Amino acid sequence: MAQKLIYLDNAATTPVDPRVLEVMLPYYRENFGNSASRNHQFGWVAEEATENARKQVAAVINADPKEIIWTSGSTESNNLAILGAARMYADKGRHLVTSLIEHKAVIDPCKFLQSQGYEVTFLQPDNKGRVSVEQVREALRPDTVLVSLMFANNEIGTIHPIPEIGALCHEKGVLFHTDATQAFGKVPVDVEAMQIDLLSMSAHKIYGPKGVGALYVRRKKPRVRLEPVIYGGGHERGMRSGTLNVPGIVGFGEAARIAKEEMPAESKRLAGLRDRMWAGLSEHLTDIARNGDPQHCLPNILNVSFLYVEGESLMMGFSDIAVSSGSACTSASLEPSYVLKNIGLGDDLAHSSIRFSLGRFTTTEEVDYTIKSVVRTVNHLRAMSPLYEMAQAGIDLSKVEWQHH
């Protein structure tokens, strides 16, 4: 019998929790109304459902339900936050601050704004992937309108000092946006305590459906206003027009409710599995490195570089285990991960890195099987690698002069 596939790519997407699917189904059939149809029962039922989901999502981040704007996912939320704020506050200034290891859904809108005459400072994180509050302070200028820094990195799991950065931005009167796609529902997030003005989140990272997300937009102290990116019937406080994806939103709400309730136990369990995996790999393999910040990190992501082996061939060696090298959004190209390169890893290390991301349905047995499988594959590939042989013989590979024909 074929070994069943093991899924360890939960940072890319998660399976829909059966409890979530169950709550969604009626909104495809009996309760199929448009939440903007204000003059009959079908519309009222749909509207009530989306308002209930708003409460459920808001509760996870300590926000007011009125501050939740529905979107199609974090990519749209990031675009609405960054482009919307930059255009709305262009009279105040045209400078933004972000980092080199943000998700492309933050970097690309920032680059687009650069082409429109805005200035963007891209901060360089430390070798663990963290940007310090001092770096942000030094980057701020009188014309800075927005700081956008992710809550936790999607490839290495490192968490930025969000509360300190939020406090600094508020003190300086600059808006603070955080892409919390990976953190939402996994680690505590509090927009009030952390002084966050805009926060992006997505359902499919927390066992909800794909294609639905939200943007938190602060309503007071300060009241944040955004120029829309999508125009239409003025839905979602005028910030995001379009008929709401009612079944998706209902699913997002339920996924958020479950995540909030199960977070303390779930985070502990996942951190235990992640540590078990790292311990197992380091016990049986030399020349491996854990990427990211082991102190400030998500419970479910483990990113490891295996020296002298190539990430793609490694993944082929354990093809019954779904993992990723780099992030799902950019892995169509064989370029080494820009996140790893920007925290100072050379191409060789960046190319030999694997991200294991654990999830709600990951078991201890799967982790143990993965450790064995990875150890076996790495040993097998290294046995065939002349580089590994030279390194074992004490030759410093960085000083080797290779022949070029």
Parse the chain into domains and list their residue ranges.
6-11+263-395, 18-258
SS3 (DSSP) at 256: helix
d(CA 307, CA 316): 17
Lowest mean pLDDT among 123-132, 250-259, 320-329, 362-371: 320-329
For the cut 70, the answer to whether the pLDDT of residue 333 exceeds it is: no
Distances (CA, A) of 106 to 113, 150, 228: 11, 9, 17
**pLDDT-based confidence at 394, cuts 50/70/90?**
confident
Told to judge if 297 belongs to the known catalytic residues of this protein, a careful annotator would answer no
Please give the span between the terminal C-alpha atoms of the chain, in angstroms, as a whole number.
Answer: 49
Tokens of 166: 């939020």
d(CA 15, CA 362): 11
Average pLDDT value over all residues in the chain: 93
What is the reported pLDDT for 215?
98
Q: What is the DSSP letter of 210?
A: T
d(CA 228, CA 76): 11
d(CA 389, CA 397): 11
Catalytic residue, chosen from 110, 169, 297, 329, is 329
Helices (H) and strands (E) in the chain, counts: 12, 12
Q: Is 18-258 CATH 3.40.640.10?
A: yes
Write out pLDDT tens, residues 71-99.
Answer: 999 999 999 999 999 999 999 999 999 99
For the cut 60, the answer to whether the pLDDT of residue 368 exceeds it is: yes
Closest CA to 72 of 192, 163, 183, 200: 200
Class at the top of the CATH hierarchy for domain 6-11+263-395: alpha beta
| Strand ranges, E, within 292-333 | 301-306, 321-322
